[in-house]
Structure 1
Amino acid sequence: MMANLFSSFDPSTSFFMSLNWISSLIGLFIIPVSFWLIPSRLNMLWIKIIMTLHNEFKTLINNNNIKGSTLIFISLFSFILFNNFLGLFPYIFTSTSHLILSLALALPLWLSFMIYGWINNTTHMLAHLVPQGTPPILMPFMVCIETISNIIRPGTLAVRLSANMIAGHLLMTLLGNTGPSLQLSLISLLIVVQIALLVLESAVSIIQSYVFAVLSTLYSSEVN
């Protein structure tokens, strides 16, 4: 039962070639044509969202010397949000539910931040290993704890995104599989619950993409 349940996340198709990972780009074809017309309402809404994110990320980074630094985090947010929403459609592969994608996003970002910080701001990076006000006797332990917490950051970023995507999809799959065995009077209740879960998963898709981008921004602000 569990093998069949998790098989819904297997990246495999039998139609001509494996099309699962192309789902990360296939959503471009379903964007309304009016989006590309300026100024359309959809375009203006997306620009408003981007500008709001830009102002927030700029405040978090708190370094005006790095121009255009928010662009990478806005692009990261857009890409993850795009794929999270695509995964809610039937028969579309949810690429963000796999660690191979989420870790491929988190690890290069974290590694580049660490390399930049240790090369250009070595003293600042060493100071971060010992929080202010730490008693001298606890300093060696705090250095070990802070080092471990820094090392596991890309893993926690990736696992958080993948686990949240998998959890909701598994619950919807479990409830959907019980449909054929239910009585007719309970099917209407199941549909209502599935719609509520779909709305919840839509909110989770937005929140998780935002959390991923904000945490990446905070990690970058620590090395400046």
Structure 2
Amino acid sequence: EAKGQAGPSVIRVSALPLFTSAYLIPRLARFEARFPGVSIEIETSHRMVDFESDAVDVAIRNVGRPTPGLTAHKLMDLRTVPLCAPALAAEFRSPADLERATLIHIASRPQGWTEWLAAQGLRGVEGRGSVMVDTLPAALDLAAHGRGVALGMTPIVWDAPQMERLVVPFPSVPVSAGAYFLVHRRQDRTHETIQAFVRWLRQEVRADAARFARQAAAAG
């Protein structure tokens, strides 16, 4: 599809750590098999991309709305959900019980727990203790080792490798966490190689929609 078309033979992608590790990397072999002449370079970062100066072709970020002036495609809406190790989950029956928990915070979303607890009708709950990490994968690692409760983001978190050792401890009110958007420069709408990547990734997301819905229902 992309062979012989105008556009770069290398696609430079900037994506968030969780999206990269849980979703993009496990699927790259399918892209490479379909487009053997195209290479992908990936950087993981929370920093917003400056398409005027950064050597990036495509960015994938979690935002409320994409930056004006760019071509944007929504990949999936996100919701926050508490996650912890099964042994720890046995101590909790409702969100109010988190006052006895160690809450794992993420530096890029410092108000995450405050907003989530407020949506559950709880204010002033800070937990028994807290720990701050810089990425969501690191938060999931801590939670999987029984060090506290983390806020994951569905549906993407269902594909995280740490989910083999994590559970949702109780039902809760869904809380929006924005959405993943794929963005690129408007002039790259004519670059077939970049557009091949965009179409491929959107197809992957659409193919997973039903599975994600089933996993969310099973988690309660």
Higher strand share: 2
Higher helix share: 1
TM-score, normalised by the number of residues in structure 1: 0.26
Higher RCO (C-alpha under 8 Å, 6+ residues apart): 2
TM-score, normalised by the number of residues in structure 2: 0.26
